[in-house]
């Protein structure tokens, strides 16, 4: 049975102007699979409680549990997690949760990850896990962000791709591009997927995560290109109040 337990904030790492990673010490953590998530619960002095689900960003091998949270200005939970929580503070969490949107690290099929915005978080857990276990199967991440400043984990993704162990990281910016930008500059479309995705006969494992319209559009395009819907695992999020 999954139970609530306390975690202590050990470190906060800013990722973008609106996104930070919270590194937590969880004494009785039972371990997780790359792609799983946790529920976080906050309780006010008057007893009011608010819960939100957050994908796990850390690899199963990491010593601390990492949650990467985007601050939503009108949200109930994310402004507290990103702006108010301090090192040494405690919060309640429950997990790990989810057994469908997971990558175990021993597969040898090509791995195609497609993320929109903070939908990259569980995909990053997979890439970190891939690096830990030394998986050398080909992997590609297509990451859609508004601007270059909004690219979460930008430097770490560059380091992982530069390690030359079969990982390619491709970016598309949907709002503005800096001078000299050589990546994509539009929303993910069929032409982009035709260039990035392995052909269906290579039977890649596909994980798509992001806002609901993004996920539905990408999955529909992939199925239209002939990919088996059963090989496309999706996780989506919408307006939950933050």
Q: Distance from CA of residue 91 to its chain's centroid?
A: 21
Q: Six-digit token pair at 118?
A: 């903070």
Angular region, 68: left φ>0, alpha ψ -120 to 50, beta rest: beta
Strand-pair partners of 8: 25, 90
Asked if 54 and 69 count as a contact pair (C-beta separation under 8 A), the reply is yes
What is the C-alpha separation between 1 and 148, in angstroms, rounded?
42
Please enumerate in sequence order all residues whose Cβ is within 8 A of that of 175, keeping only pairs 6 or more positions apart, or say none.
146, 147
pTM: 0.94
Q: Domains, the chain, ranges and CATH?
A: 4-97 (2.40.30.10), 111-237 (3.40.50.80)
Reference 40, options 22, 58, 59, 20; nearest CA is: 22
Chain centre to alpha carbon of residue 85: 21
Extract the tokens encoding 192: 């982009």
pLDDT in tens, the chain (242 residues): 789 999 999 999 999 999 999 999 999 899 999 999 999 999 888 888 999 999 999 999 999 999 999 998 888 899 989 988 999 999 999 999 999 999 999 989 999 999 999 999 999 999 999 999 999 999 999 999 999 999 999 999 999 999 878 999 999 999 988 999 999 999 999 999 999 998 888 889 999 999 999 999 999 999 999 998 999 999 998 544 45
Q: Torsion angle, CA of 31/66/145/162, rounded to 10 degrees?
A: -80
pLDDT digits (tens, 9 = 90+) for 58-90: 999 999 999 999 998 888 899 989 988 999 999
């Amino acid at each position: 049975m999954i139970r609530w337990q306390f975690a202590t904030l050990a470190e906060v790492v800013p990722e973008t102007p609106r996104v930070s990673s919270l590194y937590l010490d969880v004494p009785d953590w039972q371990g997780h699979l790359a792609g799983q998530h946790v529920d976080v619960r906050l309780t006010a002095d008057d007893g009011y409680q608010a819960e939100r689900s957050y994908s796990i960003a850390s690899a199963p091998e990491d010593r601390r549990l990492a949650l990467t949270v985007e601050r939503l200005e009108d949200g109930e939970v994310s402004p507290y997690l990103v702006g108010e929580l301090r090192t040494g503070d405690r919060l309640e969490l429950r997990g790990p949760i989810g057994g469908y949107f997971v990558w175990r690290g021993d597969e040898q099929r090509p791995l195609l990850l497609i993320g929109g915005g903070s939908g990259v978080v569980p995909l990053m857990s997979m890439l970190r896990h891939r690096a830990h276990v030394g998986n050398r199967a080909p992997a590609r991440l297509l990451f859609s962000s508004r601007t270059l400043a909004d690219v979460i984990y930008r430097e770490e993704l560059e380091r992982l791709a530069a390690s030359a162990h079969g990982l390619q990281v491709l970016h598309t910016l949907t709002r503005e591009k800096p001078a000299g930008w050589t990546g994509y500059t539009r929303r993910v479309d069929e032409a982009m997927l035709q260039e990035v995705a392995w052909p269906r006969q290579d039977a890649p494992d596909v994980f798509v995560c992001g806002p609901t319209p993004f996920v539905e559009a990408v999955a529909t395009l992939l199925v239209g290109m002939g990919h088996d819907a059963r090989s496309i695992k999706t996780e989506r999020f919408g307006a939950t109040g933050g």
